[in-house]
Structure 1
Amino acid sequence: MEDLVVVGAGPYGLSVAAHAAAHGLRPRTFGRSMESWHAMPSGMFLKSEPWASHLSDPAGAYGLDAYAASRGVRAEHGVPLPVDLFAAYGDWFARQAVPALDERLISSVAPAAGGFKLRTEDGEKLRARTVALAVGVLPFLEIPGPLRGLPRRYVTHSSHHGGLDGFAGRDVTVVGAGQAALETAALLVERGAAAVRIVARADRLRWNTLPAPLDRGRLSSLRAPHTGLGRGWRNKLYADAPGIFRRLPAGTRQRIFGSALGPAGAWWLRERFAAVGDVRLRQRIASAEVAGDGRLRLDVTGPEGTTVLETDHVIAATGFVPSLDRAGVLSPALRGALRRVGPGGAPAVGALFESSWPGLFLAGLLTAPSYGPSMRFVLGAEYTAGRLVKGVRQRLRSGAGSGAVGRPRTGGKAPVPV
């Protein structure tokens, strides 16, 4: 029986494993190191500042700056870093701070006497007293309803693409107005796509501004402090105090989760994006079908009515939805027993990141409706990892694994007391 199994090896899973190892828990960590980051197209850059993109170990010895220095790369404020360098940093972090990473995937997690039973993708069975679920964002990708069910030949999500060279000479429509959409469109032009257009519900494209210097005077810093999520006191709350966010009224949390840090492009992308000449705002795809000539026919609706658009391929850069229904690694019985919050059906998460099922801890995007926008970014890994491992240690000390199959907590209170 393992004390802790960490499911996932992205920034959150690796950070949790590093903290657990430092506290002597000997976690078993499963997942392909930085899988979604390695899958991104070459030529992409981090939108977050390097100082807000560290994975977390208790001693702070394995930050992004330390890795960049070992590679002779500048990791400085206002200097965007390549995504492939960040993915390599995560692999390096795993080698330094995470004992015995097992790159097999976990295919199922289910309740069992004394904890949980897990199965690997190749059929090995495991038992664990506690589980930390840190599966990243890929299980939660969102594709607009009219495009769902169409073959991957015609419709993909932006996170499906490790390269875009295969679209050279083709007509591609990108849906969305955030960084993923705008950067994908720019890269498609640079890779030789015959035509590239943006279709977005937004009324305008929004661009982040060139970051102000870190040292810019006391008055300016007081008016709009720097945070890992951008400048301003509201962003400071999201970045530095997720625990306070969790105590806000449910309706307030839902409203903020749905509106804070909305779609915007990075300042360094704007000049490159100018090559994308076809931008259709205040538009949405109402229906889609494969036409007789093998192309996609889209009915696109906007303020002036519906128009017909034909394209070879649609890339949906439409984000991710943290719904428990998409966490297929959890058994149906376990998913069904968990208490949920918000209209999207995200799991309720307590003060130390424990779900309403004792011993099941959550990290990353699934916790964003409870803990706020920082959990959508690498920045949130530092806040999460130490507290989650503290919760695991408390759960183990309380005798998890000593009795029958666990039962979920019920009622209106958070599962772990503040």
Structure 2
Amino acid sequence: MHDDDLLIVGAGPYGLSVAAHAAARGLRVRVHGRLMSSWHDMPPGMLLKSEPWASDLSDPTGAYRLTAYAATRGVRAEHGVPLPVAFFTAYGEWFARHAVPAVDPRAVTAVRPRPDGGFAVTTEDGETTGARTVALALGVMPFTDVPAVLRPLMPGLVTHSSDHTDLTAFAGRDVTVLGAGQAALETAVLLTEFGARARVVARSGHLVWNTVPPSLRRDPWEAARAPHTGLGCGWRNLLYARTPGLFRRLPDTTRERVFDTALGPAGAWWLRPRFEAVADVRLGKTVVAAAPAGDRVRLTLADTGGPGAAATEVETDHVIAATGFRPRLDRVDVLPRDVRAALRTVGASGAPEVSGRFESSHPGLFLAGLLTAPSYGPAMRFVYGASYTAQRLVRGVERRLGAARRPAAVPGARTRAADRTGTRAEGTRAEGVRARG
């Protein structure tokens, strides 16, 4: 069996976009992973925070954008109208069927460099295949971040917000949600609407809500003051969205700071009226201790004002930490420990440094998605960054392979997932979505 030119680990928006560009360049490409897995697993009721026009997966001709899929469903993907998760997930599956030659649903358990410069890739059933280059598009799930004080109580009494596929099981229970971002606020709203007693605890002293997006067609003065971007309005967002390559050239300390602070926690404008139903909101508080109390959790909350601040206690049935994701190499279990240890990182962040073609410091090992956000900036935290990544990453693969240009291929084969399990109905479930890359 010949090595694949490029093997992609991950079948979400970034993995599928890279595959579409690689296939169109005539590369032998294979994608491993469950199609749109983290999107499939979001709870019913969540909506996409990003605008539809900023949520396209990327193919070279632009034939398979979200608007094209919407047309096949007789739906208009409109600016300022949030889309449900089932719709976006089904769009990703449709994209895979039309723009990607093959998706193998088996998970990859190990990627090991070979002496000849290629890679040995092992799947969950023990099969090992070869690849000349590998791209890791792992999504966000390996990088969930939960405060250290809560980790000993996982998973029985504490979970991360991304662990939940259905929040209706919490009906009638007292649930404390940590965080002030969209994931936290929307989780609290859904819990309340499903009959739970939801409480929000956040370090921030106030909640930030995004404003209703202005029309795409505005007078020149308004457009110049706050230009539209795939990351929201404003000149700073425009820089993040349009110039990731310049971001990569900033000093490590600057990139780390911006990654930690840019596009901070905020709720979507359409969620704010519904959030009024959440009766218990405690801002300016942090969890300093957590202990079991029978089958419940006792939390000690302190004011974020500093040492000596008053502490209070709360008992709750369960804690959901909607505390985001932290891209670190020590979470990339598919790579051997010695390979991870040898990769260059962005300062002390623990995140890998990547080149102008998204190649890590190990030749032939490419990275995409959240793992590259400390290198390339906030755009890589969202689906919006997939287009920039896919085009440049595939050029990097071609350069690494030393391959001459090949005739463009027109993929369109059914995915292996569909071949093995039968065609999956394109989602009709009325779900909602957190913005994920």
Structure-2 residue corresponding to 1:207: 209
Pairing partner for 1:164 from 149, 167, 170: 167
Matched, 1:136 2:124: no
Q: Deviations over 1:200-248 (max 9, x none)?
A: 1011000000000010111111111100001111100101110111112
User: What TM-score does the superposition give when structure 1 sets the normalisation length?
Assistant: 0.93
Deviations 1:169-207 (A, max 9, x none): 1000000000000000000000111x1100110110000
Contact 1:364 1:375 in 2 (8 A): yes
CA contact (8 A) 2:256 2:349 kept: no
Match for residue 372 of structure 2 among 358, 367, 370: 367
Match of 1:410 in 2: none
Deviations 1:345-393 (A, max 9, x none): 1001000000000000000001000100000000000000010000000
Task: Give CA-to-partner distance per residue, 1:78-99, whole Å, 9 cap, x none.
Answer: 0100011101110111111111
Match for residue 39 of structure 1?
A: 41
Per-residue deviation, 1:398 = 7.4
Corresponding residue of 2:188: 185
Shift of the alpha carbon at 1:66?
0.8
Contact kept, 8 Å, 1:5 with 1:131, in 2: the verdict is yes
Of 81, 101, 104 in structure 2, the residue corresponding to residue 102 of structure 1 is: 104
Q: Which residue of 1 aligns with 2:299?
A: 298
Question: How many residues are aligned here?
Answer: 397
Q: Deviations over 1:6-39 (max 9, x none)?
A: 0000000000001000001020100000000010
The answer to whether 1:145 aligns with 2:144 is no
1:345 aligns with 2:350: yes
Provide the residue aligned with 1:23 in structure 2: 25
Whether the aligned pair in 2 keeps the contact of 1:342 and 1:369 (CA below 8 Å) is no
Match of 1:332 in 2: 337
* Preserved contact between residue 325 and residue 335 of structure 1 (Cα < 8 Å): yes
Q: Secondary structure at the match of 1:149?
A: helix
- What is the letter of the counterpart of residue 17 of structure 1? A
| Residue 261 of structure 1, aligned match among 251, 260, 263 | 263
CA contact (8 A) 2:369 2:386 kept: yes
Equivalent residue number for residue 123 of structure 2:
120
Which 5+ residue runs of structure 2 have no aligned equivalent?
Answer: 405-437
Q: Which moved more, 1:153-162 or 1:134-143?
A: 153-162
Q: Distance in 1 between matches of 2:283 and 2:111?
A: 42
Give the one of 397, 415, 432 matched to 1:392.
397
Percent same amino acid at aligned positions?
A: 65
Written as runs of structure 1 = structure 2, the 5 A alignment for 1:12-91 is 12-91=14-93
Q: After the TM superposition, which residues 209-358 of structure 1 pair with which residues of structure 2 at under 5 Å, given as runs?
A: 209-291=211-293, 293-302=294-303, 303=305, 304-358=309-363
Q: One-letter code of the match for 1:306?
A: A
- Root-mean-square deviation (CA, aligned residues, Å) is 1.1
Query: Which aligned runs of 4 or more in structure 1 are off by greater than 6 angstroms?
Result: none
**Is contact 1:26–1:99 with CA below 8 Å preserved after alignment?**
no
When normalised by structure 2's length, the TM-score is: 0.89
Q: Report if the CA contact (8 A) 1:118-1:127 is conserved.
A: yes
SS in 2 for 1:370: helix
